[in-house]
Amino acid sequence: MTEQQAVMDKDEHLQIQIPSETKFDLGLKALHAHEPLRMIVLRALDAYGVIVPPDAIRDRRKR
């Protein structure tokens, strides 16, 4: 693994402010899909054309 790949594989924190209605709707979508918010948001970013590694869109919760 190259140094650049190691940096690209690292997760970063992103904190944004969104309207409360948007957060509520995201929560409902996550609840109905039985998926974490992270997956919902990453899938939406991917659909919008933002580069999202395919393995990043997965449930990381331990079950």
Considering only CA atoms, which of 62, 63, 58 is closest in space to residue 11?
A: 58
pLDDT < 70: residue spans in the chain = 1-8, 59-63
Residue 58's pLDDT is what?
79
Number of domains in the chain: 1
Domain holding 28, by residue range, is 20-51
Quick check: 39 and 57 in contact, CB under 8 A? yes
Question: At 6, which amino acid appears?
Answer: A
Residue 7's pLDDT is what?
56
Residue 24's pLDDT is what?
98
Which residue is listed with tokens 């996550």? 30
Q: Is residue 24 part of a domain?
A: yes
Q: Is residue 60 part of a domain?
A: no
